[in-house]
Amino acid sequence: MNKKISITSIASVSALGSLLEEIWLNYKNDSHFLSVKDFEKFKAWVAEIQESDKERIEKLRLSEAKYKDLDASVLYALYVSRNAIREAGWKASDNFGVNIGSSRGATSLFEKYYKEFLESGKSSTISSPTTTLGNISSWIAHDLQTMGPEISHSITCSTGLHALLNGVAWIQSGMANKFLVGGSEAALTDFTIAQMQALKVYAKNNDDYPCKALDLTKTKNTMILGEGASVVCLEEGEKENALAYIEGIGYATEVLKHNISISTNADCFQKSMQMALKEVSIDEVDAIVMHAPGTIKGDTSEINAIKKVFGNETPFLTTNKWKVGHTFASSGLLSLELAILMLKNQKGIQVPFITQQEEPKQLKKVLVNAVGFGGNAVSVLIGKK
């Protein structure tokens, strides 16, 4: 990192709410925020955003005629992006860059318009512009009136942290000094849930904690999908209003033997963590917010990778998917938000159904991991202001 990069705000909407104070209070209790949702032909565990946030987002949808036909993934991103730049004090004239990614994109609209096509043989006039992947970042840039670069991409479940990598790269290159980065996902639809169930990774249990992310004793997969969006404001330099600093970034892709698999020792995570930590000693890392999707293979392989990198110096480990589900593109940024809140409040968040770990004596540096189908891992090290 040849330039200091500050995180000057973070905003999100998820099952935990959309206000940082509320989100932190919800992290400090042992409750999950998962519920059973009725779909057309089945029921499934999900993590929906709260009703109060749904109402605010619906008001946003109705605030302008051009917003009424946008997918929820775009509206979620608009909602949190407005909050983020307000907190950071950014203005449209700053011409900041925008990179908001999504794994599934406009899933709900895709399903709606395809169903209409099957029934009528015709497609809606707006089906193409409202379902293109670039839809999210372009609408954010339009709404916030920035003239900076805008990028959209999909790199499965590590999409959000890949957006952060892009923002860092633009700032390090000198081509921009501010970048809004994040991920948005509104994938709680019949077909998406059915796809995850077909992979046999989806939770079926009715335990007190239906998603057993980070529980290495589980005998069944327990992944549960969530919805939401999260964005962060990145700025060049050491800023007075910084929440934390980017101290290292790492990424890697491993050669897959199966299109959803990850190697036993998560080679991609080993490489991404080592890259993120190349300028610090491993004993400086106080905690890791893991990807830990709640699957047997996913959780175990990431733990194996951590042991390979850290040996007997394993930091405090945590994850949030047992609370908020797996939010695909947004998951890495929601993990980053948890890391920032832990640094700010100097408290590690325990996972209640595993053996309790010793609380870190201090939290100065936290590593955040994400990986997706395709073996594309990202690790980001952040440090306390």
By CB atoms closer than 10 A (0-12, 13-18, 19+), residue 184 is buried
Q: Alpha-carbon Rg of the chain, whole angstroms?
A: 20
The two three-digit tokens of residue 282, written as one number: 């491993």
189 touches 222 (CB < 8 A): no
Spatial distance between the Cα atoms of 228 and 328, rounded to a whole number of angstroms: 9
Note the helical H segments in 15-158: 20-28, 51-63, 72-88, 107-120, 135-144
| pLDDT tens digits along 214-269 | 999 999 999 999 999 999 999 999 999 999 999 999 999 987 766 556 788 999 99
Give residue limits of the domains in the chain.
5-384
Cβ-based neighbours of 75, under 8 Å, separated by 6 or more: 57, 60, 61, 67
First-to-final CA distance of the chain: 16
157 touches 291 (CB < 8 A): yes
Alpha-carbon torsion angle 320, 323, 324, 326, nearest 10: 60
Q: Cα–Cα–Cα angle for 209, 214, 220, nearest 5°? A: 65
| pLDDT tens digits along 97-141 | 999 999 999 999 999 999 999 999 999 999 998 998 888 999 999
Name the CATH superfamily, with its identifier, for domain 5-384: Thiolase/Chalcone synthase (3.40.47.10)
Spell out the per-residue pLDDT of the chain, length 385, in tens: 889 999 999 999 999 999 999 999 999 999 999 999 999 999 999 999 999 999 999 999 999 999 999 999 999 999 999 999 999 999 999 999 999 999 999 999 999 999 999 999 999 999 998 998 888 999 999 999 999 999 999 999 999 999 999 999 999 999 999 999 999 999 999 999 999 999 999 999 889 999 999 999 999 999 999 999 999 999 999 999 999 999 999 999 987 766 556 788 999 999 999 999 999 999 999 999 999 999 999 999 999 999 999 998 899 999 999 999 999 999 999 999 999 999 999 999 999 999 999 999 999 999 999 998 878 999 999 999 7
385 touches 235 (CB < 8 A): no
